[in-house]
């Protein structure tokens, strides 16, 4: 009798215990969520689970953001109906700005659609204003119901800080590169470009750099565009050494009362000299390097000019000795007395006849003007547009374990080496090139040198000069860097006569082909890398993998992938629901 009364009690208590356990679990869950929210309000953290850590900012970027003491406003013109690639760029830009704002609340942004107005005149006014502000438009062919239509977009940002504004173009344009790769490269560069804009706007005490004069270097007009671009980061000056010991250095008293020699300039640029350097000028540059000064060398080992070719259809390329060979050799490189010809070359206009009184010109590839495409992942040249050159020579590196050498730029595998003296004639464009003559391996033309450099004048300076306090002679530099390029025209902009005056054209722009090459970005990157104390340039080296679809395979199995993406999720939900229902029935049936 006792056992019969026990069974109903257990049957009644089962559902009650289940409801009580469910209530306890619910209350515990709510309590855990509440505690996590309370803890989260005091402790902030973010997890980056991507393989390449695309949402993890570099320490240099975080440092720059934390030092920002006022609102920086990004007005982003990437809102609207775009193709998939630009939508990805827009989304990545928003995500990166969110990462910035997670570090500093002063980062604010707004996404703007330039096509928001229905009035055509208003839209045109907006487009004109954006171009005047410095944003470069991109024309896209968009497929609509009516067919192909051209759409102009402005993949860029106007960045504002303390009453100042600068344009920031996001699209990393590169000649001959697949649009998908170009978009991916633009996404890779987002952190650097967005943080570099802050650096431009927030730098108050700009370090000084100088163009060296007095040895036939390029004029202020010929370097006008790059000087203007560099002025965003540096105070740009021009200086003649003229044998003055203190041309590049200063004597200053330290806190201990001792006088020390320090450099006046963060970096100096030696751009296409054509006259001999005196030993005293070389000594002054050498000691500037020994005290930590950075140098961008752009030196032509061969003298050749297009002026004579345009007049006489030919000229002679001869070795140009300006007394720098021993100094550069000591630092780790040798400039060779040759000219490099490359089948990947810039076309130039050649006179081909007249129609009536009008001269006729046709474009032919001028093999003496190689167009260089970088394949290096170094931040100075990574993802740069093609670089145009004029009469360039090869560079050899010299064995020196104290110096690290990095090849930044090389010619293509379709190279021909012409040793000086060499006759340069327009006849070369009138004949089809023989591939056998252009089978030399790629030749280095730009080299980065890093390490501790030894003075050219070690053991050559008398003791009384070494010990002179105004000279403060050093035999070896601290950890230092320099870049050597064998073409001074890399930094020379073309000049145009407009409204009665000469004005510099943008560096890298070729007025004959109306193409813009990456020379300006190359020079900016080179100087920024040499002078970089913040480590910001290292951000340019980060790589995001481009995970693109196999379009051929996708098109071949289009119906299968469409069904898989539409039916499979529904089946998963249905099957999961059935399994859960069976489990519940079995549990409560006992």
The per-residue pLDDT for range 472-508, each reduced to its tens digit, is 889 999 999 999 999 999 999 999 888 888 899 999 9
pLDDT at 12: 47
Nearest to 514 by CA among 280, 354, 346: 346
Side-chain-facing half-sphere of 574: CA atoms under 13 Å? 5
Q: What is the pLDDT of residue 172?
A: 80
- The per-residue pLDDT for range 442-466, each reduced to its tens digit, is 999 999 999 999 999 998 887 777 7
The mean per-residue pLDDT over the stretch 191-202 comes to 88
The DSSP code sequence of 26-70 is HHHHHHHHHHHHHHHHH-------STT-TT---HHHHHHHHT--S
DSSP state of 528: H
Q: Do 508 and 519 touch, CB atoms closer than 8 A?
A: yes
Kindly tell me if the per-residue pLDDT of 250 is higher than 80. yes
| Average pLDDT of span 121-142 | 85
d(CA 249, CA 257): 19
Structure confidence by residue, pLDDT tens digits, 553-565: 666 677 777 777 8
**Cα–Cα nearest to 252, from 242, 263, 243, 236:** 263
Question: 415 with 440: CB under 8 angstroms?
Answer: yes
What mean pLDDT value characterizes the chain? 85
């Amino acid at each position: 009798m006792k056992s019969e009364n026990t069974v109903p009690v257990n049957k009644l208590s089962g559902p009650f215990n289940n409801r009580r356990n469910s209530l306890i679990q619910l209350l515990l869950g709510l309590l855990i969520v509440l505690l996590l929210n309370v803890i989260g309000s005091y402790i902030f953290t973010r997890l980056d689970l991507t393989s390449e850590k695309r949402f993890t900012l570099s320490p240099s970027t975080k440092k720059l953001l934390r030092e920002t003491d006022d609102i920086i406003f990004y007005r982003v013109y990437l809102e609207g109906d775009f193709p998939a690639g630009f939508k990805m760029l827009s989304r990545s830009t928003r995500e990166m700005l969110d990462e910035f704002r997670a570090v500093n609340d002063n980062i604010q942004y707004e996404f703007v659609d330039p096509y928001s107005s229905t009035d055509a005149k208003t839209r045109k006014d907006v487009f004109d204003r954006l171009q005047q502000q410095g944003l470069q438009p991109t024309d896209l062919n968009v497929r609509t119901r009516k067919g192909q239509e051209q759409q102009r977009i402005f993949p860029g940002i106007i960045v504002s800080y303390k009453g100042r504004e600068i344009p920031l173009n996001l699209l990393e344009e590169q000649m001959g590169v697949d649009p998908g790769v170009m978009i991916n490269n633009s996404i890779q560069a987002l952190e650097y470009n967005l943080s570099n804009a802050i650096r431009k706007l927030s730098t108050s005490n700009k370090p000084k750099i100088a163009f060296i004069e007095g040895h036939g270097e390029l004029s202020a007009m010929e370097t006008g565009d790059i000087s203007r671009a560099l002025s965003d980061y540096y105070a740009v000056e021009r200086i003649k050494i003229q044998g003055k010991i203190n041309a590049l250095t200063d004597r200053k008293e330290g806190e201990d009362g001792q006088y020390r020699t320090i450099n006046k300039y963060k970096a100096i640029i030696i751009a296409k000299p054509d006259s001999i350097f005196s030993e005293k000028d070389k000594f002054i540059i050498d000691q500037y390097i020994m005290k930590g000064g950075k140098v961008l060398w752009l030196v032509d080992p061969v003298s050749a000019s297009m002026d004579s070719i345009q007049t006489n259809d030919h000229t002679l390329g001869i070795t140009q000795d300006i007394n720098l060979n021993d100094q550069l050799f000591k630092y780790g490189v040798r400039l060779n007395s040759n000219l490099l010809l490359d089948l990947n070359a810039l076309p130039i206009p050649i006179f081909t006849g007249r129609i009536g009184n009008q001269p006729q010109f046709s474009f032919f590839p001028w093999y003496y003007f190689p167009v260089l495409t970088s394949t290096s992942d170094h931040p100075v040249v990574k993802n740069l547009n093609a670089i145009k050159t004029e009469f360039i020579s090869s560079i050899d590196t010299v064995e020196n374990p104290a110096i690290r050498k990095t090849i930044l730029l090389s010619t293509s595998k379709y190279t021909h080496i012409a040793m000086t003296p060499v006759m340069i004639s327009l006849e070369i464009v009138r004949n089809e090139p023989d591939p056998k003559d252009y089978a030399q391996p790629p030749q280095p033309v730009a080299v980065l040198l890093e390490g501790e450099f030894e003075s050219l004048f070690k053991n050559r300076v008398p003791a009384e000069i070494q010990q002179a306090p105004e000279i403060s002679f050093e035999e070896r530099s601290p950890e230092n860097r320099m870049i050597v390029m064998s073409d001074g025209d890399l930094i020379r902009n073309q000049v145009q006569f407009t409204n009665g005056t000469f004005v510099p054209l943008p560096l890298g722009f070729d007025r004959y082909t109306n193409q813009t090459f990456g020379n300006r970005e190359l020079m900016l990157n080179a100087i920024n890398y040499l002078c970089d104390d913040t480590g910001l340039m290292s951000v340019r080296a980060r790589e995001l993998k481009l995970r693109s679809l196999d379009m051929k395979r996708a098109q071949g199995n289009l119906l299968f992938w469409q069904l898989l993406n539409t039916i499979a999720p529904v089946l998963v939900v249905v099957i999961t629901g059935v399994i859960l229902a069976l489990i519940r029935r079995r549990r409560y049936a006992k």
